[in-house]
Amino acid sequence: MKKTKFSITRETRTRNYVPDRFISFNDEDAEGIIQPHNDALVISVLINKTHVKHILIDPGSSANISRWKVVEQSGLLDQIVPVAHVLNGFNMAYETTKGEITLPVNAAGIIQPTKFYVMDGEMKYNAWIGRP
């Protein structure tokens, strides 16, 4: 496995290696953003041919999470595998999942089957995508 060397300075950002099929950003994408910053990366992607907005990319999370409402509105409730997992948050609070579902995620033309834990309740984002 190749490692990515990543460094940030006030003016520029460099990467020595960017693997194929990864989404990356260049200096032009960062125009208008005051550096350094710690803003969350929130995107929209196609999940199972449905445009889902307000998805948090969280590299500190080891789980991909989807709201029950998103799965329900996509008409995919019958595909949920009813398995309960307990997920711990950064504040040591825990939530129990309603199940899991694997859905094709299309981000920038790259389609990847992705397992989501389905959670019910109020959440700020429609989905969280964590590190692989």
What does pLDDT average to over the chain? 80
CA nearest neighbour of 47 among 28, 30, 64? 64
pLDDT value at position 10? 45
DSSP per-residue codes, 34-87: PSS----EEEEEEETTEEEEEEEE-TT-S--EEEHHHHHHTT-GGG-B----EE
> How do residues 12-26 score in pLDDT, each as one tens digit?
444 555 556 566 677
pLDDT tens digits, 27-61: 787 787 777 767 778 888 888 888 899 998 888 78
Q: Is the entire prediction scored with pTM above 0.85?
A: no
CATH number of 41-129: 2.40.70.10
